[in-house]
Structure 1
């Protein structure tokens, strides 16, 4: 009998997602037992508010689990089996700029796509590489599951600069969509689906979805999506915010462009940027919504738990995205060969795409990490979009590596969301000022 227990570090302990991850870990103690839980963050006051509440939660629900919250890399990264990385370099103040600067120029302002995503990517590269280096120095046998955004640019950077590191870049957006697909066809959740999918992060398509008996579910899901997008409504969506409701419903229009596949919701930003800008408020973006809702709720609840000294009336819930992360840890720890998505170097997974592109495809997860599955060739429409966007991501990493203004201007100009090179330059120049404390100095 395997009686191992694991040590898990959450890098980005001050994140508003951290309490949900903690609860998910506690919910899965029977199939993924932990002996130690650690937090690491470079913002001590922010992390402390989460950590103080977590300490009470653990004392009441799992007192046998050792808990450490630290801003010291050696203390945090020593004796760790898994690192769950969820950092946001520049926090919400910089996300605010990522969204509002492009909108001021009539261009989509979004944290992971377009100019905002590129800006965020240049901030994230150094932060994630720093975490990888800490892990390799203090716990060289550990695995890092990174879902720090924008995952596509981060994955390209780690492919280049830390090619042998034990980092797996992942994203929960397809997981959320597959849970919706399962609800549409009356199944419990994403684990009841067998799927084929290919693309880049936030830029992909499902080509086949079946249940575990082999029944083809694509016709039923397509019929639904053509009318409703991925919006389920009712109890399923009772806590879904208005901006996400719009995104899930807009999937119907994205689907119409290629009814042979089912799209990732983020494609709306690339295929319908005019619509997105017209329906955006340049003075009140997604960052403001997060501050007003999730961030306020999480920190208020943590403060309440700490003040009362108990979490028995806890209102936090485990998050679906963190269930996916725990599944990945378990698959690696126990070599289960579970089929899940990862963002990895292509090397033939999509036959007619650059082999060095960091693509998002199904993999079998086990003791050796992610083993990519072959998805065949991309159709002409998808191949064109993927190639263009992958070049944007490579140029962004080139710019970071070479400190090149021209490469970054090229990345902004090539991006499908940006109308022309003049607008790209205007946005870039504003972004340089906003990111002066985070980007390399461009020449």
Structure 2
């Protein structure tokens, strides 16, 4: 076999993997992936074998020269890798159910990446990602890490700050979907518009300019928010019906997750009603995943099924493929990713991870300069970045006080006794995945 690209996907048993494989297949002429290693843990072995068999069928049906390897041995896979992608969930979906159920049972937002649940997902994930980085330093020191494990921004910042690994890109599908769907709302081809995103993961804003240099942002805001039937572009967020006077005053398009901060009372009431009648979003996702893996078992299925779009992560994996393609071929594709700030947003520390529009070059993301936000955006952004910094520090050190500071600072968590009670309950629930918090002497 001639020399080609070796890619390692950690969390290879994910239901998203078929989209990743599809993305590599359709780019094969310019991105010749000759080895694809799908890695998982013992608890994910069955799913790895199911999705791995399907990946092999997809590659065979496409007629491309690529070997798909399945392993539970991460170090075996990482040796001499060119790119490493991470799409893992520490504690599996059962942990996400707890992240949502426990806050909701206390009358707080229960969500995978926001509020108390988002903090605890970071606490479980950051140490694992940092262990992967240590293996990469030894086994594939020239590889790029492409992370789309949530919370993507905090994971990216942890790798930069504590892993001391610069070759990392964080990816979220929210900007990817926005480019396609908002262009359609304006009646334009997305290639004829320039979207400039700035902020942090799940808390960014953007503007839109057409090819004639005309700012289309306020026009889009009116289309998206100035009507009663506005719809969200995110499967797990119900709608975009924000208060018109407030969103009009931004003169930037907020991301769908802003609903939790701009309309907290409404979002909480809807979540509590859903929780009472239907359980958590995570439980619904678990049902969808079960159905997907039943489909994946079909020995005749050798393509990505349309049902995968219902999973809530549409275009994630394909975007990851394009980042890899653009780095490998220095394509200079314009994409929005999490990367080191380095002065791109002057309101945030230079060493922070920010989610901004970039040119993806052979040397990685090169951000478009943004500058400073207006007070409407700046205050919330700085509070949330400080909360992220505290959360990452707590994940690395296991310090209880630092974690409590993060909980107190988060706008979606009631401070005081409620914050401490919810935090303690989540710590106990996830104890097996948080050894730093339960060392002797703590």
| TM-score between both structures, scaled by the size of structure 2 | 0.90
Per the alignment, residue 107 of structure 1 pairs with 108
Alpha-carbon displacement from aligned partner over 1:226-262 (angstroms, at most 9, x marks no partner): 22599569xxx8xx85x44x14x34576962634110
Structure 1 segment 26-45 matched on structure 2, within 5 A: 26-42=25-41, 43-45=44-46
Which has the larger displacement, 310-319 or 425-434?
310-319
Determine the structure 2 residue equivalent to 1:20.
19
Query: What is the rounded CA distance, in whole Å, between the counterparts of 2:417 and 2:39 in structure 1?
Result: 41
What are the ranges of 5 or more consecutive residues in structure 1 without an aligned counterpart?
A: none
Unaligned segments of structure 2, at least 5 residues: none
Aligned residues of 2:126 and 2:396 also touching (Cα < 8 A)? no
Contact between 1:269 and 1:276, CA under 8 Å: does it hold in 2?
Answer: yes
2:223 equivalent in structure 1: 224
Match of 1:275 in 2: 266
Q: Structure 1 residues 147, 195: CA separation in 2 closer, same or farther (over 3 Å shift)?
A: same
- Which piece of structure 1 moves more, 37-46 or 97-106? 37-46
Listed as ranges, the matches of 1:16-415 within 5 Å are 16-42=15-41, 43-189=44-190, 191-206=191-206, 208-228=207-227, 231=230, 243-244=236-237, 246-247=238-239, 249-250=240-241, 256=247, 258-280=249-271, 281-282=274-275, 284-293=279-288, 295-305=289-299, 308=300, 311=302, 319-415=314-410
Cα deviation, residue 139, structure 1: 1.8
CA–CA distance in 1 between the matches of 2:437 and 2:244?
A: 40
Would the aligned equivalents of 2:327 and 2:360 in 1 still touch at CA under 8 Å? Answer: yes
| Number of residue-to-residue matches in the alignment | 427
Does structure 1 conserve the Cα–Cα contact (< 8 Å) formed by 2:194 and 2:211? yes
Q: Which residue is equivalent to 2:432?
A: 437
Q: Select which of 410, 415, 424 maps to 1:420.
A: 415
Deviation at 1:198, TM superposition (A): 1.2
SS in 1 for 2:38: strand
Deviates further, 113-122 or 125-134: 125-134
RMSD, aligned CA: 2.4
Residues in 1 aligned to 2:306 and 2:341: alpha-carbon distance in whole angstroms: 42
Give the Cα separation in 2 of the matches to 1:252 and 1:430: 34
Deviations 1:58-96 (A, max 9, x none): 222235211111111232112322112111111100000
Deviates more, 1:102-111 or 1:156-165: 156-165
Quote the Cα distance in structure 1 between the aligned partners of 2:334 and 2:303: 36
Structure 1 pair 230–363 and aligned structure 2 pair: CA distance change class (3 A): farther
Task: Check if 1:6 corresponds to 2:2.
Answer: no
